Amino acid sequence: MTFAEYIWLDGAEPISELRSKTRFFKPAGKAIKLSDFPEWSYDGSSTNQADGSDSDCLLQPVAFSKDPIRGDGNYLVMCEVFRPDGAPHETNTRSKLRAILNAGAQSEDPWIGFEQEYTLIDGARPLGFPEHGYPAPQGPYYCAIGADRAFGRDIAERHAALCEQAGLVFYGLNAEVMPGQWEFQIGYRGIAEDDASALNIADHLWIARWLLHRVAEDAGVLVSFDNKPVKGDWNGAGMHTNFSTSRMRSANGGLEAIERAVSRLAHSHDDHIALYGDRLHERLTGLHETCSISEFRSGAGDRGASIRIPLGVAMKGAGYFEDRRPGANADPYLVAARLAATVCEIDDAILRFGDTNHKAAA
Ligand code: ADP
Ligand code: MN
Ligand code: MN
Ligand code: MN
């Protein structure tokens, strides 16, 4: 038997969450294509996306990978959500990224790399936190090894293996600054066959998040993408976003293109903050390797800046920049769309929202 797991984003406030359901899948031929996966629908009144009286939402398959959990012949299918009248649902943030790319950003071939931080929660506290009080202060946990400082590696490792087997553009992983906190990266790896385009990498990040929840579920542990899971003198969790255009990657004028991009970012700081995740102010305090939410700073090799130009990029004179502002719970479709719109100077009306992160203003 083979199955397709259809995955989509719901209407949770203030940030969409993942949902999925399964259908039997009989491949048409040997080489599976996107069009082999039929459209489907679900009850939008149960996902905060429709009223009970007219509750069908449509699932349009837009990307797929192998399903490494069910094994050979099974698939994970990322979907966009549409209304019954065929218009993208207002929570369909991927359609907004498509619109920005189609409006001109695509001609600059934007590549992305996301660094997704997360915290494993066991009961009421992060893995590695004692039942009462706190563990020893931060310092030894980042990139650590050993049972007294690395907590949850089995989950992080199993997740990495599954991403690899699914064929995602999985770059790497590391233990983070707070106990129970980890990071994985999805994005450009310097491999010619990879598709590091904004849309593909954002799709892969959502599939990778789904796999992480799935693995942790088996282990009876929760995955939190909260930006500040533990208040006080503990690092928050972010989603640093590395971004480049063909001009920025060019040995001919790359660094100048990066500097132009940074000055455009300096002028649109608030528009970016608005789409970079829920309760971001708790994380962007100016402490714990962040720049204050009310400030914009850029610098080569500066991990206290909003935008960091990696030292290697500054030395080489070409490459990419790192936007350190997005929080761990940000929507990669919106972060990618916002960056592409600002850097490539695309009309951003479609990214201006009402009072939530994903719903367009009426
Ligand atoms: P950090 O030093 O900030 O922890 P990581 O090693 O965690 O950085 O991640 C580096 C990220 O940079 C990866 O996600 C990778 O895909 C991304 N990256 C590298 N080169 C480029 C590029 N030219 N364009 C976009 N992203 C890139
Ligand atoms: Mn990193
Ligand atoms: Mn990190
Ligand atoms: Mn980083």
Residues 287-307 have pLDDT tens digits of 999 999 999 999 998 889 999
How many whole angstroms from its chain centre is CA 113? Answer: 9
Query: Same domain for 130 and 6?
Result: no
Q: Ligand 1: does its nearest atom lie under 6 Å from the Cβ of 194?
A: no
CA–centroid distance, 324 to ligand 3, in Å, is: 9
Ligand index nearest the alpha carbon of residue 301: 1
**Residue 53 and residue 75 share a domain:** yes
In which region does residue 136 sit, left (phi positive, over 0), alpha (psi from -120 to 50) or beta (all else)?
Answer: beta
- Tell which one of 185, 303, 323, 339 to mutate to probe ligand 1, the residue whose CB is within 8 A of the most ligand atoms: 185
Answer with the one of 61, 91, 121 that is the final residue of a domain: 91
What local confidence, expressed as pLDDT, does residue 361 receive?
43
Structural domain contains residue 250: yes
Mean predicted lDDT score pLDDT of the chain: 95
Query: pLDDT tier at 314 (50, 70, 90 boundaries)?
Result: very high
Same domain, 181 and 125: yes
Distance between CA atoms of residues 308 and 296, nearest Å: 11
Residues 46 and 109 in one domain: no
Q: What is the mean pLDDT of residues 334-342?
A: 98
Is the peptide bond between 135 and the residue preceding it cis, with omega within 30 degrees of 0? no
**Rounded to 5 degrees, what angle do the CA atoms 20, 351, 240 make?**
70
The residue ranking higher by pLDDT, 164 or 357, is 164
Cβ of 242 less than 6 Å from ligand 1: yes
**259 and 132 together in one domain:** yes
pLDDT confidence band for 18 (50 / 70 / 90): very high
Query: Is residue 362 domain-resident?
Result: no
> Which of the ligands is closest to the CA of residue 310?
1
Of 91, 119, 144, the domain-final residue: 91
In a domain, 99, yes or no: no
Q: According to the model, what pLDDT value does residue 54 have?
A: 83
Does the Cβ of 320 fall within 6 Å of ligand 1?
Answer: yes
Q: Are residues 72 and 129 in the same domain?
A: no
DSSP bridge pairs for 82: 58, 88
- Three-state SS for 343? helix
Is 244 a pocket residue for ligand 1 (Cβ < 6 Å)?
yes
Structure tokens at 295: 């400030």
Q: Is 186 helix (H, G, I), strand (E, B) or coil?
A: strand
- pLDDT above 70 (res 358): no
Domain boundary among 63, 91, 119: 91
Residue type, 28: A
Does the pTM surpass 0.95? The reply is: yes
Neighbours of 270 (CB within 10 A): 10
Taking the CB of residue 65, how many other CB atoms lie within 10 A of it?
A: 19
User: 60 with 117, same domain?
Assistant: no
Is 47 in contact with 10 (CB distance < 8 Å)? yes
Q: Kindly indicate the confidence band of residue 355, based on its pLDDT and cuts at 50, 70 and 90.
A: low
Residues 12 and 59 in one domain: yes
User: Is any atom of ligand 1 closer than 6 Å to the C-beta of 142?
Assistant: no
**pLDDT at residue 35 in the model:** 95
Asked if the model's pLDDT at residue 354 lies above 70, the reply is: no
Q: What is the mean pLDDT of residues 250-277?
A: 97
**Residue 96 within any structural domain of the chain:** no
Tell me the CATH number at 60: 3.10.20.70
Percentage of the residues of the chain whose pLDDT score is greater than 70: 97
Specify the residue with its C-alpha closest to ligand 1, atom 11. 113
Residue 97 inside a domain? The answer is no
Pair 83, 135 in one domain: no
Protein residue whose Cα sits closest to atom 19 of ligand 1: 188
Q: Which of 143, 176, 242 has most ligand 1 atoms within 8 Å of its beta carbon, as the pocket-test mutant?
A: 242
> DSSP secondary-structure letter at 14?
S
Q: What is the Cα Rg of the chain in Å? A: 20
Residue 27's pLDDT is what?
83
Ligand having the closest approach to the CA of 205: 1
Question: What pLDDT, on the 0 to 100 scale, is given for residue 362?
Answer: 36
Average pLDDT over residues 212-235: 97
Q: What is the pLDDT of residues 57-95, one digit of tens each?
A: 999 999 999 999 999 999 999 999 999 999 999 999 999
Percent pLDDT > 90 in the chain is 93
Contact assessment for residue 100 and residue 337, using Cβ atoms and an 8 Å cutoff: yes
Ligand 1 atom at minimum distance from 187 CA? 16
Q: Is 234 in the pocket of ligand 1 (CB under 6 A)?
A: no
The answer to whether residues 213 and 315 belong to one domain is yes
119 shares a domain with 29: no
Q: What's the pLDDT band for 30 if we cut at 50, 70, 90? A: confident
The 10s digit of each residue's pLDDT in 97-150 is 999 999 999 999 999 999 999 999 999 999 999 999 999 999 999 999 999 999
pLDDT at 359: 61
User: Domain check: are 160 and 272 in the same one?
Assistant: yes
Question: How far apart are the CA of 275 and the centre of ligand 3, in A?
Answer: 20
Report the domain count for the chain. Answer: 2
Q: Is residue 329 part of a domain?
A: yes
Which structural domain range is residue 66 located in? Answer: 2-91
Whether residue 251 lies inside any domain: the answer is yes
Determine, yes or no, domain membership for 261: yes
Q: What is the pLDDT of residue 82?
A: 97
CATH value at residue 162: 3.30.590.10
Tell me the C-alpha distance between 216 and 223, whole Å. Answer: 7
The ligand with the least distance to the CA atom of 238 is 3
